[in-house]
Amino acid sequence: MEVRQVWAHNFDSEAKLIESLLSKFWYMAVDTEFPRMVYWPAGLAYKLEPAERYRLLRCNVDTLHPVQLGLTLFDAGCVLPGGHGGATRYVWQFNFHDFDVRQHRHVVESVVALRSRCVDLDQTQQYGIAAEATFGPRLRKWTRASLGRTDVVMSRGGYDLTYLVKMMFRTGFRMPGSATEFDAVVKAVLHRRRVFDVGEMARLCPREHLRRGLDSVAGQLNEAWFTANAARQASYDSLWTCYTFMKLREIYFDDDGKLAGVDGILAEVTTF
């Protein structure tokens, strides 16, 4: 597996490569890395009403800055794009320069966690891509119908999706006031693509022990690719999301009707 690291200097060439592949792959797994939540609920998160969950999400996304975005393209057979006659498979990791640990609000422990996973925040700030000014417009291009009908798969749908939308609307975009308004924005920018959250898919499965985070779900599905990797970054998590989605689909959502039933059900965003 080759992680294609994307910085400001090679962004255009990597973006063109992705654009050449979109029509050939059905799915795009996405993972975002950012300094973890600075706003927390006063009580237990699972007891929040849907409107309160969305408000908490909105406050955090409007305050925080993405550090990385991992992207894995794959088809219905879980085949990834690659080179060297298929001997190498590609995943992408976009590194953003927007977060400045010296001036932007963050939780200290979250920065420690990022660095423990070998995320070099000095390097991302110096050589990274402008998330909203540069990456966002290209992302909007990728969602146009002319580049294929690639569906989007995420591991923590609410945060991943809201960061995607925020980047697509460029600098200064503020999250809509309600989840209903946000849903309308998503439909407009994704051009009716399906969106899946593997965490919510697991929650809706009959096996109680799957109703946990991505790490737990992937481990309990007993996939051979599951490893404990302390240096895991966004690219790895997007690949993990890809494999977890395909395994959940194989076992629990094995026809189009079942899969359609979980389209658009996203943590922190879905209003039911």
Higher-confidence residue of 201 and 213: namely 201
Rg over alpha carbons for the chain, rounded to the nearest Å, is 18
38-47, 66-75, 86-95, 198-207 — most confident range = 66-75
CB neighbour list of residue 268: distance below 8 Å, 6 or more residues apart: 53, 54, 56, 57, 157, 158, 159
Which helix (H) or strand (E) element contains residue 91?
A: strand 88-95
* Domains of the chain, earliest start first: 2-260 (3.30.420.10)
pLDDT-derived band of residue 272, with 50, 70 and 90 as boundaries? very low
Give tens-digit pLDDT for 197-212: 998 898 888 765 565 5
Give tens-digit pLDDT for 119-150: 999 999 999 999 999 999 999 888 876 566 78
Higher-confidence residue of 227 and 221: namely 221
The model scores a pTM over 0.95: no
Q: 35 near 67, Cβ under 8 Å? A: yes
Can you tell me whether residue 16 is helix, strand or coil?
A: helix
Q: 31 near 70, Cβ under 8 Å? A: yes
48-52, long-range: CB within 8 Å, 24+ apart, which pairs?
50/179, 50/270, 50/271, 50/272, 51/178, 51/179, 51/271
User: What's the pLDDT score for residue 5?
Assistant: 97
pLDDT tops 70 at residue 226: no
d(CA 212, CA 218): 10
d(CA 78, CA 26): 10
Q: What's the whole-number mean pLDDT along residues 253-265?
A: 89
